A and B are shown apart, each in its own frame.
Chain A
Amino acid sequence: MNARATAIGLWLALVALCIAQLARTAFVADLSSFLPAHPTAAERVLVDQLRHGPLSRVMLVGIEGADAASRAAISRHLAQALSRDAHFAGVANGDTGGLERERGLLFRHRYVLSPAVDAERFSEEGLRRAIGATLDLVASSAGLAVKPLLTRDPTGETLVLLDTLQPAQSPRLADGVWGSADGTRAVMLVRTRASGADIDAQAEALASLEDAFARARREGGAAASGARLVVTGPGVFSVRARAMIQHDVARLTTLSAVLVIALLLSVYRSPRLLLLGFVPVVTGALAGIAAVSLAFGSVHGITLGFGTTLIGEAVDYSIYLFVQSEGGALRDPRWSSRFWPTVRLGVLTSIAGFLALVFSGLPGLAQLGVYSITGLVVAAAVTRFVLPSLAPARLRVRDLAPMGNAARRALVGRNALRGVAAVAVIGAAAAILAHRGALWDRDLASLNPITAADRENDQRLREALGASDARVMVALPATSLEGALESAQRAQGALDRLVADGALAGYDSPAKLLPPRSVQRERQASLPDAATLRARLRTALSGMPLRAERLGPFVSDVESARAAPVLTARDLEGTALGLALDGLVMHDGANRWTAMLGLHAAQAHAIEPARIENALRDAHVSGAVVLDVKAELDAIYGGYFRRALVASAAGLGVIAVLLLASLRDVRRLLAVVAPFAAGVVIAAGAQLASGATLTLFHLVGMLLVAAIGSNYSLFFDKLARAAEASAARTIASLALANATTVIGFGILALSSIPVLHAIGATVAIGTLATLLVAAAFAPRTMSNGTGAA
Chain B
Amino acid sequence: MSRAALAVAITLAGLAVQAAGFDVASLMALLKSSHPGRATYHETKYISVLDHPVETDGELRFTPPDRLEKRSTGLNAETLVAERDQVTIERGGRKQVLPLAQYPEVGVFVDSIRGTLAGDRPLLEKAYDLSLAGNASHWTLTLRPRQARLARIVSRIDIEGAQGVVQRVEIQQADGDRSLMTISPASP
- B106 touching A139 by the CB < 8 A rule? no
- A144 touching B108 by the CB < 8 A rule? yes
Q: Which residues on the A side are within 8 Å of B102 (C-beta)? A: 95-97, 176
B129 located at the interface, meaning its Cβ lies under 8 Å from any Cβ of chain A in the complex: no
- A142 touching B50 by the CB < 8 A rule? no
Once A96-B102, A147-B47 are accepted as A-B contacts, the answer to whether A141 and B78 lie under 8 Å apart by CB is: yes
* Docked complex: A127-159 residues within 8 A CB-CB of B: 135-136, 138-145, 147, 150-151
- B52 touching A545 by the CB < 8 A rule? yes
- B85 touching A138 by the CB < 8 A rule? no
Out of A141, A163, A173, name the residue touching B99 (CB < 8 Å).
Answer: A173
Out of B54, B101, B106, B173, name the residue touching A142 (CB < 8 Å).
Answer: B106
Task: State in angstroms the CA–CA spacing of A139 and B89 once bound together.
Answer: 13
Q: How far in angstroms is the closest Cβ of chain A from B187?
A: 24
Task: State in angstroms the CA–CA spacing of A546 and B85 once bound together.
Answer: 34
* Docked complex: A259-293 residues within 8 A CB-CB of B: none
Q: How far in angstroms is the closest Cβ of chain A from B71?
A: 10
Nearest CB in chain A to that of B99: its residue: A173
Task: State in angstroms the CA–CA spacing of A545 and B153 once bound together.
Answer: 23
- A547 touching B51 by the CB < 8 A rule? yes
- A145 touching B103 by the CB < 8 A rule? yes
- B54 touching A144 by the CB < 8 A rule? no
Out of A138, A141, A145, A170, name the residue touching B47 (CB < 8 Å).
Answer: A138
A550 located at the interface, meaning its Cβ lies under 8 Å from any Cβ of chain B in the complex: yes
Using an 8 Å CB-CB cutoff, how does the interface string of A168-184 with B read, 1 for contact, 0 for none?
00101111100000000
Tally of B interface residues using CB under 8 Å: 33
- B50 touching A143 by the CB < 8 A rule? no
Q: Which residues on the B side are within 8 Å of A176 (C-beta)? A: 85, 99, 101-102
Q: How far in angstroms is the closest Cβ of chain A from B148?
A: 15
Best-surrounded residue of A143, A151, A547 (most CB of chain B within 10 A): A143
Once A135-B54, A144-B106, A173-B97 are accepted as A-B contacts, the answer to whether A550 and B49 lie under 8 Å apart by CB is: yes
B86 located at the interface, meaning its Cβ lies under 8 Å from any Cβ of chain A in the complex: yes
- B51 touching A142 by the CB < 8 A rule? no
Out of B86, B89, B173, name the residue touching A141 (CB < 8 Å).
Answer: B89
Task: State in angstroms the CA–CA spacing of A550 and B51 once bound together.
Answer: 10
User: Secondary structure of the A side of the interface?
Assistant: mixed
Out of A139, A170, A174, name the residue touching B54 (CB < 8 Å).
Answer: A139
Using an 8 Å CB-CB cutoff, how does the interface string of B67-105 with A read, 1 for contact, 0 for none?
000101001101010000111010100100111011101
- A136 touching B173 by the CB < 8 A rule? no
- A138 touching B99 by the CB < 8 A rule? no
Task: State in angstroms the CA–CA spacing of A360 and B54 once bound together.
Answer: 74
- A141 touching B109 by the CB < 8 A rule? yes
- B51 touching A140 by the CB < 8 A rule? no
Task: State in angstroms the CA–CA spacing of A191 and B167 once bound together.
Answer: 52
Q: Which residues on the A side are within 8 Å of B89 (C-beta)? A: 140-142
Task: State in angstroms the CA–CA spacing of A138 and B101 once bound together.
Answer: 20
Q: Which residues on the A side are within 8 Å of B101 (C-beta)? A: 175-176
Q: Which residues on the A side are within 8 Å of B94 (C-beta)? A: 163
Once A140-B91, A144-B108, A145-B106 are accepted as A-B contacts, the answer to whether A175 and B85 lie under 8 Å apart by CB is: yes
Once A139-B45, A176-B99 are accepted as A-B contacts, the answer to whether A144 and B105 lie under 8 Å apart by CB is: yes
B56 located at the interface, meaning its Cβ lies under 8 Å from any Cβ of chain A in the complex: yes
Nearest CB in chain A to that of B87: its residue: A141
Q: Which residues on the B side are within 8 Å of A96 (C-beta)? A: 102
Q: How far in angstroms is the closest Cβ of chain A from B131?
A: 23
Once A136-B76, A173-B86, A545-B51 are accepted as A-B contacts, the answer to whether A145 and B105 lie under 8 Å apart by CB is: yes
Task: State in angstroms the CA–CA spacing of A96 and B54 once bound together.
Answer: 30
Q: Which residues on the B side are within 8 Å of A135 (C-beta)? A: 50, 54
- B177 touching A140 by the CB < 8 A rule? no
Q: Which residues on the A side are within 8 Å of B45 (C-beta)? A: 138-139, 143
Nearest CB in chain A to that of B101: its residue: A176
Once A175-B85, A545-B54, A550-B49 are accepted as A-B contacts, the answer to whether A142 and B103 lie under 8 Å apart by CB is: yes
Q: How far in angstroms is the closest Cβ of chain A from B118?
A: 19
Q: Which residues on the A side are within 8 Å of B76 (C-beta)? A: 136, 139-140
Using an 8 Å CB-CB cutoff, how does the interface string of A430-446 with B read, 1 for contact, 0 for none?
00000000000000000
Task: State in angstroms the CA–CA spacing of A598 and B167 once bound together.
Answer: 50
Task: State in angstroms the CA–CA spacing of A172 and B86 once bound together.
Answer: 10
Once A97-B102, A144-B173, A175-B85 are accepted as A-B contacts, the answer to whether A546 and B49 lie under 8 Å apart by CB is: yes
Task: State in angstroms the CA–CA spacing of A621 and B187 once bound together.
Answer: 59
Q: Which residues on the B side are within 8 Å of A175 (C-beta)? A: 85, 101
Nearest CB in chain B to that of A96: its residue: B102
The 29 listed contacts between A and B (C-beta, < 8 Å) are A95-B102, A135-B54, A138-B45, A138-B50, A138-B54, A139-B54, A139-B56, A140-B72, A140-B89, A141-B89, A141-B106, A141-B109, A142-B89, A143-B45, A144-B106, A144-B108, A144-B153, A144-B173, A145-B105, A170-B97, A173-B86, A175-B101, A176-B101, A176-B102, A545-B52, A545-B54, A546-B49, A546-B51, A547-B51
B interface residue numbers (CB < 8 A to A): 45, 47, 49-52, 54, 56, 70, 72, 75-76, 78, 80, 85-87, 89, 91, 94, 97-99, 101-103, 105-106, 108-109, 153, 173, 177
The 9 closest A-B pairs by CB, nearest first: A144-B105, A145-B105, A545-B50, A139-B54, A176-B101, A173-B99, A141-B80, A136-B76, A545-B51
4 further A-B contacts with Cβ under 8 Å, apart from A138-B47, A145-B106, are A135-B54, A170-B97, A173-B85, A547-B51
